[in-house]
Chains A and B, each alone.
Chain A
Amino acid sequence: MMAMGSRLLVTLLLVATLLAGCTKPRPDSNGAASASLTIKGSDTLVQLAQAWAQGFMKTHPEISVTVTGGGSNTGIAALLNKGTDIANASRPMKPEEFDKAKANGIDVKEVVVARDALSIVVNPKNPVAELTMQQLADIYSGKITNWREVGGPDTNIVASGRDSSSGTYVFFQEHVLHKGPYGRGVLSQISNSQIASSVAEDVGGVGYIGLGYIDESLKDLKIKANDSAPGVAGNLENVKNGTYPLARPLFEYFVGEPKGAAEVWKDWILGPEGQKLVENLGFITAK
Chain B
Amino acid sequence: MPKIAARAQEAVVEKALLLAGVLSILLVALIFAFVAKEAFPLFKNYSLASFLLGTEWQPALPPPTGPQFGLIPNLWGSFLVTAGAILIAVPFGLGTAIFIADIAPRRLREWLKALVELLTVVPSVALGFVGLVVVSPLVKAWLHLDTGKSAVAASIILAFIALPTIVTIAEDAIKAIPQSYQLASLSLGATEWQGLSRVIVPAAFPGIFAAIMLGVGRAIGETMVVIMVTGNAGLLPTHGLWYAFTHSVRTLTGTIGSEALEVAHGEPHYNALFMLGVVLFLITFALNYFSGRMLSRSMRQVRP
User: Is there an interface contact between B227 and A73, defined as CB atoms closer than 8 Å?
Assistant: no
Instruction: Tell me the nearest residue of chain B to A199, going by C-beta.
Output: B147
Task: Name A179-217 residues within 8 Å CB distance of B.
Answer: 179-182, 184-190, 198, 201-205
Asked if B5 lies at the interface with its beta carbon under 8 angstroms from chain A, I say no
The answer to whether A185 and B147 touch (CB under 8 A), given A165-B259, A179-B62, is no
Instruction: Tell me the nearest residue of chain B to A100, going by C-beta.
Output: B264
User: Is there an interface contact between A187 and B264, defined as CB atoms closer than 8 Å?
Assistant: no
User: Within the complex, what minimum Cβ distance (angstroms) separates B76 from chain A?
Assistant: 11
Task: Name B129-187 residues within 8 Å CB distance of A.
Answer: 137, 140, 146-149
CA distance A198 to B150 in the complex (A): 12
Asked if B252 lies at the interface with its beta carbon under 8 angstroms from chain A, I say no
The answer to whether A187 and B233 touch (CB under 8 A), given A77-B265, A204-B146, is yes
Asked if A226 lies at the interface with its beta carbon under 8 angstroms from chain B, I say no
CA distance A198 to B297 in the complex (A): 49
User: Is there an interface contact between A174 and B62, defined as CB atoms closer than 8 Å?
Assistant: yes
User: Is there an interface contact between A184 and B233, defined as CB atoms closer than 8 Å?
Assistant: yes
**Interchain pairs with CB closer than 8 A, number:** 86
User: Is there an interface contact between B147 and A170, defined as CB atoms closer than 8 Å?
Assistant: no
User: Is there an interface contact between B265 and A186, defined as CB atoms closer than 8 Å?
Assistant: no
User: Is there an interface contact between A184 and B264, defined as CB atoms closer than 8 Å?
Assistant: no
User: Within the complex, what minimum Cβ distance (angstroms) separates A46 from chain B?
Assistant: 13
The answer to whether A165 and B262 touch (CB under 8 A), given A158-B146, A205-B147, is yes
B contact face: mostly helix, strand, loop, or mixed: loop
CA distance A221 to B59 in the complex (A): 28
Interface size on A, residues (CB 8 A): 35
CA distance A188 to B231 in the complex (A): 6
Asked if B258 lies at the interface with its beta carbon under 8 angstroms from chain A, I say yes
User: Within the complex, what minimum Cβ distance (angstroms) separates A25 from chain B?
Assistant: 18
Asked if B235 lies at the interface with its beta carbon under 8 angstroms from chain A, I say yes
The answer to whether A73 and B147 touch (CB under 8 A), given A173-B61, A185-B235, A201-B137, is no
Taking CB atoms, residues of chain B closer than 8 Å to A80 are 264
User: Is there an interface contact between B60 and A173, defined as CB atoms closer than 8 Å?
Assistant: yes
User: Is there an interface contact between A163 and B235, defined as CB atoms closer than 8 Å?
Assistant: no
Asked if B27 lies at the interface with its beta carbon under 8 angstroms from chain A, I say no
Partner of A190, one of B73, B227, B265: B227
User: Within the complex, what minimum Cβ distance (angstroms) separates A102 from chain B?
Assistant: 15
CA distance A203 to B148 in the complex (A): 11
CA distance A189 to B149 in the complex (A): 10
Flag A64-108 by CB within 8 Å of B: 1 or 0 each: 000000110110110011000000000000000000000000000
Taking CB atoms, residues of chain A closer than 8 Å to B218 are none
Taking CB atoms, residues of chain B closer than 8 Å to A74 are 261-262
Taking CB atoms, residues of chain A closer than 8 Å to B73 are 184
Task: Name B120-136 residues within 8 Å CB distance of A.
Answer: none
Flag A233-246 by CB within 8 Å of B: 1 or 0 each: 00000000000000
User: Is there an interface contact between B60 and A164, defined as CB atoms closer than 8 Å?
Assistant: yes
User: Is there an interface contact between B60 and A169, defined as CB atoms closer than 8 Å?
Assistant: yes
User: Is there an interface contact between A163 and B261, defined as CB atoms closer than 8 Å?
Assistant: no
User: Is there an interface contact between A164 and B265, defined as CB atoms closer than 8 Å?
Assistant: no
Taking CB atoms, residues of chain A closer than 8 Å to B236 are 184
Taking CB atoms, residues of chain A closer than 8 Å to B227 are 190
User: Is there an interface contact between B233 and A185, defined as CB atoms closer than 8 Å?
Assistant: yes
User: Within the complex, what minimum Cβ distance (angstroms) separates A207 from chain B?
Assistant: 11
CA distance A79 to B262 in the complex (A): 13
Asked if B29 lies at the interface with its beta carbon under 8 angstroms from chain A, I say no
Flag B231-274 by CB within 8 Å of A: 1 or 0 each: 11111100000000001101000000011011111000100000
Taking CB atoms, residues of chain A closer than 8 Å to B234 are 184
User: Is there an interface contact between A187 and B147, defined as CB atoms closer than 8 Å?
Assistant: yes
CA distance A246 to B231 in the complex (A): 25
Taking CB atoms, residues of chain A closer than 8 Å to B258 are 163, 188, 190
Flag B47-73 by CB within 8 Å of A: 1 or 0 each: 000000000101111110100100001
CA distance A81 to B270 in the complex (A): 15
User: Is there an interface contact between A198 and B149, defined as CB atoms closer than 8 Å?
Assistant: yes
Instruction: Tell me the nearest residue of chain A to B55, going by C-beta.
Output: A184
Asked if A134 lies at the interface with its beta carbon under 8 angstroms from chain B, I say no
- On A, residues with C-beta under 8 Å from B are 70-71, 73-74, 76-77, 80-81, 155-156, 158, 163-165, 169-170, 173-174, 179-182, 184-190, 198, 201-205
14 contacts between A and B (CB under 8 A): A74-B261, A74-B262, A77-B262, A164-B60, A165-B262, A165-B263, A173-B61, A174-B62, A185-B248, A187-B233, A187-B248, A190-B227, A202-B147, A204-B147
CB-CB nearest 10 A-B residue pairs: A165-B262, A77-B264, A188-B232, A187-B231, A74-B262, A179-B62, A164-B60, A158-B147, A156-B146, A202-B147
- On B, residues with C-beta under 8 Å from A are 56, 58-63, 65, 68, 73, 137, 140, 146-149, 227, 231-236, 247-248, 250, 258-259, 261-265, 269
Q: A180-B61, A204-B146 are in contact. List 8 more A-B contacts (CB 8 A).
A: A70-B261, A74-B261, A158-B146, A164-B60, A165-B262, A165-B263, A185-B235, A187-B149
